Amino acid sequence: MKEVNILFTSIGNKVYLTKYFKRAYEKLGVTGKMVATGIDELTPGIYTADIHYLVPRLNDSNFLPRILEICKKESINILQPTSDDDVEFFAEHKSEFENLEVKILAPNFETASICRDKLKFFNKLSELGIPTIKTWISLNDEIVYPCIVKPARGKAAVGVMTVNSREELEKINLDGMIIQEKIVGTEYTIDYFADLNGEVLGIVPRIRMVVSEGESKVGRTHNEPRIIELCKKLGASLKLIGQNTIQLFVNSSGIYILENNMRFGGGSPLGMEAGLKSPEFILKIALGEKPEADFNFTDNLLMIRYSENVFMDYDQIAHL
């Protein structure tokens, strides 16, 4: 019987991940355990895994030794970061895991740094000739209002502001911020998966119909060949690895890529339910197999998200 032990770091509230991986384990006839880490006893995702650990914060010097310790103890084969900061961290520290034969689902550090910083991302796409949203770092006469001001390294729509005039913009401290044009159009997230060599294995575009706090709450899949081909170009140019969520806008003027998050997004269950085999791909990669690309998916599949509850005996929770 084939065996894969996977570690999800910073799993947060992505309780759906273990559900889809359990399906993949059963479908492929693979055994093994799912291990999850978090920094808080009240993190719901950790309790959906077979084994869970509380770990220091990412910026703590004890974080890396603790993760390495867990990988040794649980005989981890493959590590799946589930936050952008984690991806960048593990991209930088891949070599520390090589002796343990742990595969890291993260791109090279340069790519991770580009995707993590929206200004670097804009500059790189401009250099590659890939259509993106105009971006500035300071007040200038090219800016058209209303515009968007956001942290260059932000996430989950935290700190994002709509600015309606130059007078408003002049009052904002732009330290660590970027200014972007406000695009009117249809907003998409594209679930994109590539193997450890950067070869794309599957793509599912989905329209973000209702968005709250940066996450898609209602969405539907949409088979748009132009989007798929553009994402293939982006992925190949940056050599993306593993699960990515590419965000873009489409309007009558064209397609404009906004950003790429190197992880499973909140709306990723829609892509997997529609046919993206990310969990199966990951298990096969862990086994040293070469998964076959599969671009088939159910078009026009609708997803409406809602909150779920996790119940357990109070004594299962460590000291609060």
Residues 32, 88, single domain; the answer is yes
What's the mean pLDDT when you consider all of the chain? Answer: 94
Q: Which domain holds residue 204?
A: 2-116+185-314
Domain boundary among 150, 181, 212: 181
Q: Are residues 162 and 91 in the same domain?
A: no
Q: Is 126 within the bounds of a domain? A: no
List the CATH number of the domain containing 225.
Answer: 3.30.470.20
Mapped onto helix, strand or coil, the DSSP state of residue 262 is coil
Please check whether residues 280 and 158 belong to one and the same domain. Answer: no
Residue 141 in tokens: 């006469």
For the entire predicted model, the pTM comes to: 0.93
Last residue of a domain, one of 161, 181, 201: 181
Cα 195 from Cα 243, distance rounded (Å): 9
Per the rule left: phi > 0, alpha: psi between -120 and 50, beta: everything else, 213 is left
- The total number of structural domains in the chain stands at 2
Whether 121 is covered by a domain: the verdict is no
User: Is the same domain home to 195 and 90?
Assistant: yes
pLDDT band at 57 (very low <50, low <70, confident <90, very high): very high
Query: What is the per-residue pLDDT for 1?
Result: 67
**Which is it for strands 177-181 and 147-151: parallel, antiparallel or unpaired?**
antiparallel
Q: Is residue 320 part of a domain?
A: no
Q: Are 303 and 163 in a shared domain?
A: no
DSSP state string for 166-233: HHHHHTS--TTEEEEE---SEEEEEEEEE-TTS-EEEEEEEEEEEEETTEEEEEEE---HHHHHHHHH
Q: Is residue 142 part of a domain?
A: yes
Q: Are residues 161 and 205 in the same domain?
A: no
Does pLDDT of 320 surpass 70? no
Average pLDDT for 107-133:
95
Same domain, yes or no: 19 and 103: yes
Assess if residue 74 is contained within a domain: yes
Residue 54 confidence (pLDDT): 95
On whether residue 319 sits in a domain, the answer given is no
Residue 128 domain-assigned?
A: no
162 and 176 part of one domain? yes
- Inside any domain, residue 122: no
pLDDT at site 159: 82
Q: Residue 224 pLDDT > 90, yes or no?
A: yes
- Say whether both 72 and 220 belong to one domain: yes
